Chains A and B, each alone.
Chain A
Amino acid sequence: MLSDNYTDLLKYFSIAIEEVVHTMAGFEISASKDPSFFLRDDSPRISGLMLLPSSKNAILSITVSLESASILVSYMTGIPVDELKEEDLYDGVIELVNMIAGRAKSLLIDTTHSFGLTAPFAIYGRDYELVLKKNVSNLSKKYVSGDLEIGFGIFFM
Chain B
Amino acid sequence: MKILSVDDSSIVRKIIRGAAEVLQYDLLEASDGSEALEILKSNAKDIELILLDWNMPGMNGYDFLKKVKSHPDYKKIPVMMVTTESEKENIVKAIQAGASHYMTKPFSIEELIKRILECLGKGES
Could you list which residues of chain A lie within 8 angstroms of chain B, going by C-beta atoms? Answer: 19-20, 23-24, 26, 73, 76-79, 87-88, 91-92, 94-95, 98-99, 101-103, 105-106, 117, 119
Contact = CB atoms under 8 A, between A and B. Distances in A.
A101 B14 contact: no
B96 interface: no
Interface size classification for chain B: 10 to 19
B18 interface: yes
Contacts of A103: 84, 105-106
B9 A77 contact: no
B15 A119 contact: no
B125 interface: no
Contacts of A19: 106
Interface in B1-56: 9-12, 14-15, 18, 55
Contact of B105 (A79, A91, A99): A99
Contacts of A91: 9-11
Given A23-B106, A98-B9, 11 more contacts: A78-B18, A78-B109, A79-B14, A87-B10, A91-B10, A94-B11, A95-B9, A99-B105, A102-B86, A103-B106, A106-B86
Contacts of B104: 102, 106
